[in-house]
């Protein structure tokens, strides 16, 4: 009996060892298979990492080359630009259409521009102009979010400094590369020039109609007066023509132009550039200008129904 009990224990122990050995072998095989499966993934991840690193280095080299090749803004501190990329682009467009290029431009200092007109342009295009360093980061973030939603770049978030950089040196396309160059050049302008100089150049080169560049030429073209004599309403209308002056002309019947001009007057009153009486008069003048009436032309009156007809 004791002998049978010992044999039974030995048999049971042997089976346990075999089972344990079998499980250990299976676990080892599973680990080896797992390692074999992971190896290609790791290799693939390493290759992707190297490709990304190469792409990043190429981007850095390209950006460095582009940065070095961009123009220097320091020369504009004492010299007015003789021409701009936008002026040359418009001239080329005219020649391609078989037309003679038109250019109306007369340079004026900031003190020779109506304060109303300066305030109107600032409030319309870049209310934070004297506060930022060339780029309004908050507005830029909003514009990028909108571009991602729509799948294309819009105009939003361009400061006056950015607009000047584009007008002076770049094209009018809306590519990411052009936007990157614009940001770099805006930074250079801010580093090299005081704010008033940037604003002066901008007001003298920005487009204000077909072949019309600068606020003095714009004032003479649209109102027959120099920039120093612009009223609040006239300044608001000129500011409202930006950034599409060839589409938003005073005789285009643009509802957007009218709405924007009235909005600018409201903003000028809100920041106390105009009092209530001045703002009311400016609103009336905007309506009068866009209706084609002159300042001294009375409103037409229809005869009453019971009044006798003139003989």
pLDDT at 5 (0 to 100): 47
pTM: 0.73
pLDDT at 81 (0 to 100): 97
Percent over 90 (pLDDT), the chain:
56
Q: Which of 161, 168, 107 is nearest to 139 (CA)?
A: 161
Distance in angstroms (rounded) separating the CA atoms of residues 268 and 283: 12
Cβ–Cβ under 8 Å, residues 215 and 204: yes
- At 273, list the tokens: 């550039």
| CA distance between the termini of the chain | 150
Per-residue buried b or exposed e for 36-58, using 16+ beta carbons within 10 Å of the residue's own CB: eeeeeeeeeeeeeeeeeeeeeee
pLDDT at 43 (0 to 100): 59
Distance in angstroms (rounded) separating the CA atoms of residues 147 and 33: 47
pLDDT at 247 (0 to 100): 87
Which residue numbers in the chain have pLDDT < 50? Answer: 1-2, 4-9, 12, 15-20, 23-24, 27, 30, 33, 36, 299-311
Q: Which of left, alpha, beta for 157 (phi over 0: left; psi -120 to 50: alpha)? A: left
- At 105, list the tokens: 């431009």
Q: Determine the number of helices (DSSP H) and then strands (DSSP E) in the chain.
A: 11, 0
pLDDT at 40 (0 to 100): 55
């Amino acid at each position: 009996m004791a002998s049978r009990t010992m044999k039974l224990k030995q048999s049971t122990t042997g089976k346990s060892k075999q089972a344990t050995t079998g499980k250990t072998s299976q676990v080892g095989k599973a680990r080896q298979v797992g390692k074999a499966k992971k190896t290609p993934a790791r290799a693939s991840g390493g290759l992707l990492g190297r490709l990304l690193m190469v792409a990043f280095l190429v981007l850095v080299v390209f950006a460095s080359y582009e940065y070095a090749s961009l123009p220097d803004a320091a020369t504009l501190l004492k010299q007015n630009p003789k021409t701009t990329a936008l002026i040359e682009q418009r001239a080329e467009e005219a020649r391609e259409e078989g037309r003679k290029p038109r250019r109306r431009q007369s340079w004026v200092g900031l003190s020779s521009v109506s304060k109303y007109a300066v305030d109107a342009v600032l409030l319309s295009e870049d209310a934070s102009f004297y506060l930022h360093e060339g780029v309004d980061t908050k507005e830029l973030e909003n514009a990028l979010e909108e571009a991602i939603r729509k799948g294309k770049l819009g105009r939003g978030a361009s400061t006056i400094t950015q607009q000047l950089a584009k007008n002076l040196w770049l094209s009018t396309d809306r590519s990411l590369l052009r936007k990157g160059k614009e940001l770099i050049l805006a930074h250079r302008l801010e580093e090299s020039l005081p704010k008033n100089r940037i604003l002066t150049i901008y007001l003298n080169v920005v487009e204000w109609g077909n072949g019309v560049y600068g606020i003095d030429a714009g004032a003479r073209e649209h109102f027959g007066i120099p920039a120093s004599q612009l009223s609040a309403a006239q300044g608001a209308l000129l500011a409202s023509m930006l950034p599409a002056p060839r589409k938003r002309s005073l005789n285009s019947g643009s509802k957007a132009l009218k709405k924007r001009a009235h909005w600018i007057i409201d903003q000028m009153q809100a920041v106390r550039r105009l009092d209530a009486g001045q703002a009311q008069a400016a609103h009336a003048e905007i309506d009068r200008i866009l209706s084609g009436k002159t300042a001294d032309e009375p409103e037409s009156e229809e005869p009453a129904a019971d009044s006798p007809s003139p003989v």
